[in-house]
Copies of this chain bind each other. A is one copy, B any other.
Amino acid sequence: MEIYKNIQEMKSYLKEMRKEGKKIGFVPTMGYLHEGHLSLIRRAAVENDLVVVSIFVNPRQFGPGEDFERYPRNIEQDIRLSQEAGANVLFIPGINEMYPEGFNTYVEVKQLTETLCGKSRPGHFLGVTTVVNKLFHIVNPDRAYFGQKDAQQVIVIQRMVKDLNMDVEVVVCPIVREADGLAMSSRNVYLNSEERGQAIVLFHALNMAKERIEQGERDAMRLKKQIEMMIQQQPLANIDYVSIVDGENLEEVKEINHKVLIALAVKFGTTRLIDNMIVEV
């Protein structure tokens, strides 16, 4: 497996690969890979000739007081796991390589970023779109793979790609869950056993909501209340938001009469977890 830390060298290598006619699949990550990431890499390996995985804990998508410093890292394990999953190239740039002195350009998607996680984490999506824009220019992939777990991120990046006429197909892959249903996340490692036990309520609440809709529930406000009540029965759960929004424009819905996204963010102790489910009516 090839490993690059330098942007210019990464670009030159991939330019050669493209000249040889290779289709490039790209999986941008912040490392500490879990089965969710690996599912993206495996799919990219099936659909492309060459799979590039980036590992970069992007400081600019963490707000002040967030967990940038303690975000889990294990580069040796990441190298092994990504290779086993089918990655051919790792791109692991340093912070100064990505944001050299004088750096001053930002890519911003408005509106879609002002709700859900964007509301709780101001500046988060500005960091995401800026770094993904840079990575897309560095890797220049035919396809880029993202997990549905970060539902808002997916919609924001699709918007950026469309609006800026970028030449990359954004492929969205299903949420991968632990055996008991907790959505895989690098942050799950923060949870102590009590928090871990209670965190499963998120998946249960989403399933309950889906069933209610299938049974005919159309009142978003009432359903939202039910989700919140179920989560609040876990004493360590601290709700950031529970939202039922339009699956395309992320605007809050009153009546559930088309494809909706049920999205939530809940803190257990100091650990903020997100999860979501798309329900088609």
A interface residues, tally (CB under 8 Å): 27
Residues of B within 8 A of A166 (CB): 137
Give the number of times this chain occurs in the complex, counting copies.
2
**How far is B249's CA from A109's CA once the two chains are assembled, in angstroms?**
27
Whether the Cβ atoms of A108 and B109 lie closer than 8 Å is no
Interface segment out of the listed A22-30, A98-106, A261-269? A98-106
Residues of B within 8 A of A7 (CB): 165
Residues of B within 8 A of A163 (CB): 103-105, 134
- Name which of A134, A140, A163 has the most chain B CB atoms within 10 A of its CB: A163
Whether the Cβ atoms of A105 and B165 lie closer than 8 Å is no
**How far is B99's CA from A164's CA once the two chains are assembled, in angstroms?**
10
Residue interface bits A213-249, CB-to-B below 8 A is 1, else 0: 0000000000000000000000000000000000001
Q: Which 5 A-B pairs have the closest CB atoms?
A: A105-B163, A137-B165, A104-B110, A138-B165, A105-B109
The chain A residues found within 8 Å of chain B, CB to CB, are: 7, 11, 102-112, 129, 133-134, 137-138, 140, 159-160, 163-167, 249
